[in-house]
Structure 1
Amino acid sequence: MKRITPILLALAVATAFSPALAEGDVQPAIHGGPFGFAESGKKADRSAKADAAGAKVIGGELAADGAWPWQVALVVAGTPVGVDTQFCGGSLVLDTWVLTAAHCVHMQDDDGSYYDVEPGQFEVLVGSNELTPGKGDLVPVEAIFKHPAYLGDVFDNDIALVKLARPPRAPYQTIEVPDAEYGDILNQQGVTTIVTGWGLQDGAQPSPELRQAEIQILDREICNAAMMEAKAADAVDGFIYAAQTLGLGEKDSYEIWDELVARAPEPLTENLICSGTFEGGKTSCNGDSGGPLVVPLEDGGYIQAGIVSWGLTALSGYGCEETALFSAYTDVSKFVPWLNEVIAANP
């Protein structure tokens, strides 16, 4: 079995998380339709403004040319390759199979209903870290398989496979994924991870070049506690008003409040990995959606632990929260049996 090198974290977890998120400055972002956003031209419109919305590897650095050769970009079909037509990332796990997020291929329409993106609506850019026409190979899509348990309004089981119509004609490598046992070893607090993707940089300007950021696995329960504390802080004023209006006494109010908080679902399920930094400023957001979260191994290789699923946004709803401490990533190891089943059934 490959070995990984855990990184010990120097700061106390509780004190690092609670104050920053309890103030209500950020909240979980549920962003619908990366494909529709790019296809409609809204990404291009917003990228021209300082308040542009979209995704980025926050606090990252430019990736070296040829680095992360499994990274791919999902691009609106029939359009020039560029920052305005790229809507999600992905990773090559086999010669003709791309791993990405389900919310990249299952979109919310204007009327609130959900629909699946069709294979002919996008292409996959392979072999280039630069979103520039003429670079890499644009590969047609043959089929799309989203996890059957994924629901558009719930970011659980946020995983999908894209089958390419042919092997890429540009240099690439595939990335290994862990089984459940090895995934449990990877998903330990302090393990170093690297997230890669394109999108907005500081100042909300899109980046045509692939970026990377080194972050660490963080304890999911502590991430959940921090987010629940932030949600409670947002909700408490409304609850106090309702309790006073209804004439509830202090004792009853506390009991009802405690029960409400206890019944609230945890934002990060067991199918998600929490990764970020204690100091914040290094994380991912929705435009990096579908891209890989990889773990460096002692033998110099890498293994994919997660898929970019969702992050934190400012309360305005625009851009990514640059002080966010963490983002959520689909735990790939939980879905290996499903991945194998889909690939075996679609040779």
Structure 2
Amino acid sequence: MASNGPKAGVSVVGGTQAQPGVLSSIVFVTSQTSADSAMACGGTVIAPTVVLTAAHCVVDARTGSPRPARGIAVTSGRLVTAQAGSGQDLGATRVLVDPLFDPATIRNDAALIFLTAPAAVAPMPLLSAGEAALAAPGTRVAFAGWGATIGSSDQPSPQLLSTTTTLLEDTACGRLLGDDFDPAVTLCAVDAGSFASSTCHGDSGGPLLLRRADGSWVQAGITSWGSLGCDPRVPQAFTRVSAVGGWIAEGVAAAPAIPPTVSSAATPARDTVVAGGGAVGGRGSSVAIAAARYRGSTRQHRAIALRVAAGGRRVAAVEFGYRARCGRSWRAGTFRSAAGTRLPIATRSSGGAFTTLRADGHGRQVRVRGAFTRRGRLSGTVRVNWRERGGVRCDSGVVKYSARR
């Protein structure tokens, strides 16, 4: 959908003012993008010192790396962002980005912000994998944010706004949003019937909420992307909280119970940016990435091998087998990176996550993602897709793999 493609950075169109105490766990997040500008987003307090937000809110789009934690600010307990004498203004000690976050398709769009002090609000519960059925098509859900109220504006709303919308079936989401919609990790919703409300620029990172049987709110999604013009007739996409719940739980469990004291003089040296799942939780440790050949298999029971070179700073070669569905049939094949070609995959010592998107000489689009662990293992996903003559689309889907040296 060229005219309505993904928009990373989506106040609520058609919303109403949120009432005090009802959505107290929602926070206003700013991430400094330059010396005189910052990106505004939303987030949710999910533990006393942890905020859940969208990865694209804290990742530099040019470099693919998280922005420094010292440039991130969180406002908690304040419906009007400029209201003096209320709420809390909190800083960040570190940032943790989902190692499978893909900035090209905005998949696994999730990140955790570790705060300099506990937020004085009740944390928002998250929808677990066991409760995933609650997010069924046709369910009426709610979202909130400080984003723009019209699609032609980038001016955020000074007041937290909220509204309701309806979850759609995955097949309808895929048909309306195109190939970038991945039902395994993404929900979509639209204000069916009235088509009056939509997420918009500045709402990213905020929660998609539904009610449990007891009437309590639970977060089912993270506002991720929507149409360029915030058109209420176009579905909006949300990261499935139940799909990234395991990674979130690991991050929250590793959060320090008592945040460190950060003085202004020590801030630049003590801030730690974590780009992936390896160095979690306030210890400032990093993943040791060895220059070696990693071998393993995919969930399709095909072999995979990756060669890490340059002292563990880049992945120099990738080879894996795959099965792809082409219309009503399946095709098997092997992808090998060209000899001597430097793949645009850079491993980062603070977490060891990497990603690449490239095309080969056969017209196949290949995406490889991964993250290293302290035990010397490597895991991630691969995906291959292309179009046959006659327009038939072939796609392996997102396939998980694991490997070790």
Report if TM-score (shorter chain) is over 0.5: yes
Structural RMSD (CA) = 2.2
Provide the C-alpha distance between the structure 2 equivalents of 1:26 and 1:211, rounded to a whole number of angstroms. Answer: 26
How far residue 153 of structure 1 moved from its aligned partner, in angstroms, is 1.6
2:38 is equivalent to residue 61 of structure 1 = no
Residue aligning to 1:304: 219
Query: Which one of 69, 77, 95 corresponds to residue 144 of structure 1?
Result: 95
Residue aligning to 2:166: 216
Structure 2: where are the runs of 5+ without partners?
A: 257-405
Query: Which one of 182, 185, 191 corresponds to residue 277 of structure 1?
Result: 191
Provide the C-alpha distance between the structure 1 equivalents of 2:3 and 2:111, rounded to a whole number of angstroms. Answer: 28
Residue aligning to 1:180: 129
Provide the C-alpha distance between the structure 2 equivalents of 1:217 and 1:25, rounded to a whole number of angstroms. Answer: 23
Alignment of 1:14-53 (within 5 A): 26-31=3-8
Alignment of 1:111-130 (within 5 A): 113-130=63-80
Provide the C-alpha distance between the structure 2 equivalents of 1:226 and 1:304, rounded to a whole number of angstroms. Answer: 24
Query: Which one of 324, 334, 337 corresponds to residue 243 of structure 2?
Result: 334
Provide the C-alpha distance between the structure 2 equivalents of 1:192 and 1:75, rounded to a whole number of angstroms. Answer: 29
Retained in 1: the 8 A contact 2:31–2:57?
no
How far residue 160 of structure 1 moved from its aligned partner, in angstroms, is 0.8
Residue aligning to 1:163: 114
2:56 is equivalent to residue 103 of structure 1 = yes
How far residue 73 of structure 1 moved from its aligned partner, in angstroms, is 0.7
Provide the C-alpha distance between the structure 2 equivalents of 1:87 and 1:187, rounded to a whole number of angstroms. Answer: 27
Retained in 2: the 8 A contact 1:281–1:325?
no
How far residue 181 of structure 1 moved from its aligned partner, in angstroms, is 1.9
Provide the C-alpha distance between the structure 2 equivalents of 1:69 and 1:117, rounded to a whole number of angstroms. Answer: 26
Retained in 2: the 8 A contact 1:107–1:152?
no
How far residue 343 of structure 1 moved from its aligned partner, in angstroms, is 2.2
The one-letter code sitting in structure 2 at the alignment partner of 1:103 is: H
What do residues 300-340 of structure 1 show as CA deviations (whole Å, max 9, x unaligned)?
310000000101123xxxxx22x333200000011111112
How far residue 75 of structure 1 moved from its aligned partner, in angstroms, is 2.5
Provide the C-alpha distance between the structure 1 equivalents of 2:59 and 2:123, rounded to a whole number of angstroms. Answer: 24
Provide the C-alpha distance between the structure 1 equivalents of 2:2 and 2:186, rounded to a whole number of angstroms. Answer: 23
Provide the C-alpha distance between the structure 2 equivalents of 1:145 and 1:75, rounded to a whole number of angstroms. Answer: 16
Aligned length: 249
Q: Identity over the aligned pairs, expressed in percent?
A: 28
Whose helix fraction is larger, Structure 1's or Structure 2's?
A: 1
Provide the C-alpha distance between the structure 2 equivalents of 1:100 and 1:272, rounded to a whole number of angstroms. Answer: 15
The one-letter code sitting in structure 1 at the alignment partner of 2:28 is: A
Query: Which one of 19, 25, 28 corresponds to residue 70 of structure 1?
Result: 25
Higher relative contact order (CA 8 A, sep 6+): 1
Give TM-score scaled by structure 1 length.
Answer: 0.67
Provide the C-alpha distance between the structure 2 equivalents of 1:120 and 1:275, rounded to a whole number of angstroms. Answer: 34
2:4 partner SS: strand
How far residue 85 of structure 1 moved from its aligned partner, in angstroms, is 5.5
Retained in 1: the 8 A contact 2:49–2:255?
no
How far residue 266 of structure 1 moved from its aligned partner, in angstroms, is 4.9
Structure 2 CA distance for partners of 1:30 and 1:86, relative to 1, 3 Å:
closer
Provide the C-alpha distance between the structure 1 equivalents of 2:186 and 2:31, rounded to a whole number of angstroms. Answer: 28
Provide the C-alpha distance between the structure 2 equivalents of 1:187 and 1:270, rounded to a whole number of angstroms. Answer: 13
